[in-house]
């Protein structure tokens, strides 16, 4: 007994080691399974304000690329606009069409502008920190986009900062569909390249080819329908033979993020209420 | 004593800053990120109290975690590194030479130090990447990331230890 006690006293660091390891695992599990833990992330006050400064500095380094991407997206939109105007002119002879009211894409949504102050692409689960938080109206489960496409989903907010689950995160699933067709699936990230993700669950009877555009489906309350996601660059079949696994080249360059918009769905609560009611019945 | 603690605090502050601002943003070949903040732990004096080493490991790891949004992952990995440091050093050096030494290229020699460094970095990164992956099943990707990042870290730390003459 005395030997045992002497051994334990002499090796008390083993207990400290186990205790601290235990504390670490509590943190890991808490963060992975419960959404509340904001304090041990970059969206707490201290780390947030630190990244506010460093993010502000580093955002100057990729101004050139930001500009280039804005110019190219402007040109693309300009072209689409001309095309649509031409089509509209043709259609307008039809009086029935004229009476149809066109609702704009963001009618039910509020957009908050925010800036990325910290971003990672090298983990298997990546997160982004934004410089806006609860005080600016940001809430968990809002979609985040930039000029080129989707960026992620707000996971947790503190008063002044928010933590975004990047598209490049194995826990992120976003409902997507083929542009101009009603086949839908969900977007996953496999951890390999920061340029690519996978689209799963798309039924095999869907007609598609490489280069087809993938957009958000609007089936979840996070993103409105039609936000750009990427284009198909690889077509594989799932092991079950019933669906495709598509490689998607993301339209957003996740390595250079700066200005983003957070999308708040004004009718989200109403929608969730209706949906949960239906499930109960 | 107090001065030593403040000095160490300053040293860690610099390493943490470098890690979160600089090293964490490196992503060589899409796989390799160096974790150089573990260098001071590798060089801790062998006489230093183990409890103190563990506390430093926990809090420095936690600080890195806060910045990288991986709460607990770096803390757990760094604790493992510090815990197994002396037994591993023991393996590669003669018994009498590691009583009171700060392991470096010059104090224990190139080959023993390299062996010590490789073992520790592989161990640290293994814990780090497997905890980071957590409920993520893609073994080949995990192994690639682990090996490539370890190699990167080992090369950097070996370089630092060779340059740093005391």
Nearest to B114 by CA among B101, B105, B106: B105
- Residue A77 counted as domain residue: no
Q: Give the pLDDT band of residue B136 (cuts 50, 70, 90).
A: low
- Condensed to tens digits (0 to 9), the pLDDT of residues A146-169 reads 888 889 999 888 888 888 989 988
Paired residues of A236 in beta bridges: A245
Asked if residue A62 and residue A15 are part of one domain, the reply reads: no
Q: What is the pLDDT of residue B123?
A: 92
B132/A248 Cα distance (integer angstroms): 24
- Condensed to tens digits (0 to 9), the pLDDT of residues A99-109 reads 555 555 666 78
3-class DSSP assignment, residue B114 = helix
Average pLDDT, chain A: 81
**Out of A24, A163, A190, closest to residue B75 by CB:** A24
Asked if residue A140 and residue A12 are part of one domain, the reply reads: no
Write the CB contacts of A151 (distance below 8 Å, at least 6 apart in sequence): A128, A144, A145, A164, A166, A167, A252, A254, A257, A260
- Residue A273 counted as domain residue: no
Query: Tell me, what CATH number does A191's domain have?
Result: 2.40.10.350
Give the whole-number percent of chain A exceeding pLDDT 90. Answer: 0
β-strands A243-250, A196-203: how paired? Answer: antiparallel
- Residue A89 counted as domain residue: no
- Residue pairs between chains A and B whose CB atoms are closer than 8 Å: 111
Lowest mean pLDDT among A55-64, A121-130, B146-155: A55-64
Q: Alpha-carbon torsion A232, A237, A240, A242, what sign? A: positive
Does pLDDT of A88 surpass 80?
no
Q: Domain range holding A207?
A: 35-68+108-266
Q: Are A43 and A156 in contact (CB under 8 A)?
A: yes
Asked if residue A144 and residue A14 are part of one domain, the reply reads: no
- Residue A6 counted as domain residue: yes
Tokens, residue B109: 């020699």
Does pLDDT of B133 surpass 80?
no
Q: Give the pLDDT band of residue A263 (cuts 50, 70, 90).
A: confident
The architecture of the domain spanning B2-163 is Orthogonal Bundle (1.10)
Give ipTM to 2 decimals: 0.83
Q: Are B43 and B102 in contact (CB under 8 A)?
A: yes
- Condensed to tens digits (0 to 9), the pLDDT of residues A159-208 reads 888 889 899 888 888 888 888 788 888 888 887 788 888 888 888 887 88
Does pLDDT of A240 surpass 70?
yes
Give the whole-number percent of chain B exceeding pLDDT 70. Answer: 93
Cβ distance of A28 and B136 shorter than 8 Å? no
Tokens, residue B32: 């390799």
Q: Which helix (H) or strand (E) holds A129?
A: strand A125-130
Cβ distance of B51 and A32 shorter than 8 Å? no
Asked if residue A26 and residue A40 are part of one domain, the reply reads: no
* Contact residues on chain A for B133, CB-CB shorter than 8 A: 124
Asked if residue A227 and residue A174 are part of one domain, the reply reads: yes
Q: What is the pLDDT of residue B124?
A: 92
Cβ distance of B72 and A24 shorter than 8 Å? yes
Q: Give the pLDDT band of residue B118 (cuts 50, 70, 90).
A: very high
Asked if residue A17 and residue A130 are part of one domain, the reply reads: no
Query: In whole angstroms, how far apart are CA A106 and each of A112, A113, A266, A267, B32?
Result: 12, 14, 10, 12, 40
**Out of A16, A25, A192, closest to residue B72 by CB:** A25
CA B82 to chain centre: 8
Q: Give the pLDDT band of residue B78 (cuts 50, 70, 90).
A: very high
Q: Looking at the 3D structure of chain A, how many domains does it have? A: 2
Q: Are B123 and B81 in contact (CB under 8 A)?
A: yes
- Residue A84 counted as domain residue: no
- Condensed to tens digits (0 to 9), the pLDDT of residues A269-278 reads 777 777 777 7
Q: What is the pLDDT of residue A104?
A: 59
Q: What is the pLDDT of residue B26?
A: 79
- Residue A271 counted as domain residue: no
Average the pLDDT over A142-147 and give the result: 86
Q: Which residues of B touch A (CB under 8 A)?
A: 21, 24-27, 30, 33, 50-51, 54-55, 57-58, 61-62, 65-73, 75-76, 79-80, 83, 129, 131-136, 138, 141-142, 145
Asked if residue A208 and residue A121 are part of one domain, the reply reads: yes
A216/A267 Cα distance (integer angstroms): 18
Does pLDDT of A59 surpass 80?
no
Cβ distance of B71 and A40 shorter than 8 Å? yes
Name the CA dihedral angle for B21, B26, B30, B32, rounded to a multiple of 10 degrees.
-110
- Residue A276 counted as domain residue: no
- Residue A274 counted as domain residue: no
β-strands A162-169, A196-203: how paired? Answer: unpaired
B69/B160 Cα distance (integer angstroms): 27
Closest chain B CA to residue A122 = B27
Paired residues of A198 in beta bridges: A188, A247
Nearest to A49 by CA among A147, A143, A158: A158
- Condensed to tens digits (0 to 9), the pLDDT of residues B10-37 reads 888 888 888 888 887 777 777 788 899 9
Closest chain A CA to residue B17 = A50
Which of B22, B63, B69 has the highest number of chain A CBs within 10 A, making it the mutation to test binding with A? B69
Q: Give the pLDDT band of residue B97 (cuts 50, 70, 90).
A: low
Strands (E), A179-227: 184-188, 196-203, 213-216
Average the pLDDT over A216-221 and give the result: 80
Report domain extents, chain B: 2-163
Interface contact A12, partner B, CB < 8 A: yes
Q: Are A278 and A240 in contact (CB under 8 A)?
A: no
Tokens, residue A48: 């947030």
């Amino acid at each position: 007994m005395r030997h045992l006690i002497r051994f334990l006293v002499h090796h008390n660091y083993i207990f400290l080691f186990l205790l601290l390891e235990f504390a670490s695992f509590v943190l890991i599990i808490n963060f992975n399974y419960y959404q509340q833990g904001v304090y041990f992330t970059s969206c707490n006050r201290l780390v947030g304000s630190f990244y506010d400064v460093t993010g502000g500095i580093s955002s100057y380094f990729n101004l050139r690329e930001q500009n280039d991407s804005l110019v190219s997206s402007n040109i693309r939109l300009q072209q689409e606009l001309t095309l649509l105007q031409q089509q509209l002119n043709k259609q307008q002879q039809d009086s029935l069409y004229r009476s149809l009211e066109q609702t704009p894409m963001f009618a039910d949504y509020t957009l908050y502008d925010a800036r990325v102050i910290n971003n990672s692409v090298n983990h298997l689960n990546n997160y982004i920190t934004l410089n806006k938080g609860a005080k600016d109206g940001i809430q968990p489960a809002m979609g985040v986009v930039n000029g080129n496409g989707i960026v992620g989903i707000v996971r947790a907010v503190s008063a002044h900062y928010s933590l975004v689950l990047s598209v490049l995160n194995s826990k992120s699933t976003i409902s997507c569909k083929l542009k101009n067709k009603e086949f839908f699936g969900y977007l996953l990230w496999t951890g390999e390249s920061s340029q690519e993700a996978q689209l799963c669950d798309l039924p095999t009877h869907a007609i598609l080819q490489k280069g087809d555009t993938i957009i958000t489906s609007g089936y979840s309350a996070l993103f409105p329908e039609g936000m750009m996601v990427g284009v198909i660059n690889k077509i594989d079949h799932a092991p079950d033979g019933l669906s495709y696994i598509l490689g998607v080249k993301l339209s957003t360059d996740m390595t250079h993020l700066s200005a983003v918009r957070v999308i708040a769905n004004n009718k989200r609560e109403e929608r969730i209420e209706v949906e949960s009611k239906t499930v109960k019945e | 004593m107090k001065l030593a603690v403040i000095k160490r605090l300053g040293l860690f502050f610099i390493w943490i800053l470098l890690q979160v601002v600089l090293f964490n943003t490196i992503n060589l070949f899409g796989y390799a990120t160096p974790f150089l903040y573990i260098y001071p732990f590798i060089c801790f004096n062998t006489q230093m109290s183990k409890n103190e080493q563990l506390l430093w490991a926990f809090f420095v790891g936690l600080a890195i975690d806060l910045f990288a949004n991986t709460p607990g992952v770096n803390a757990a990995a760094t604790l493992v590194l510090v815990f197994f440091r002396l037994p591993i050093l023991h393996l590669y050096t003669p018994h009498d030479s590691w009583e009171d030494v700060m392991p470096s290229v010059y104090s224990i020699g190139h080959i023993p130090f390299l062996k010590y460094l490789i073992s520790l970095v592989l161990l640290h990164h293994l814990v780090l990447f497997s905890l980071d992956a957590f409920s993520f099943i893609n073994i080949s990707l995990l192994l690639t990331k682990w090996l490539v990042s370890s190699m990167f870290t080992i090369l950097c730390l070996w370089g630092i230890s060779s340059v740093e003459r005391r």
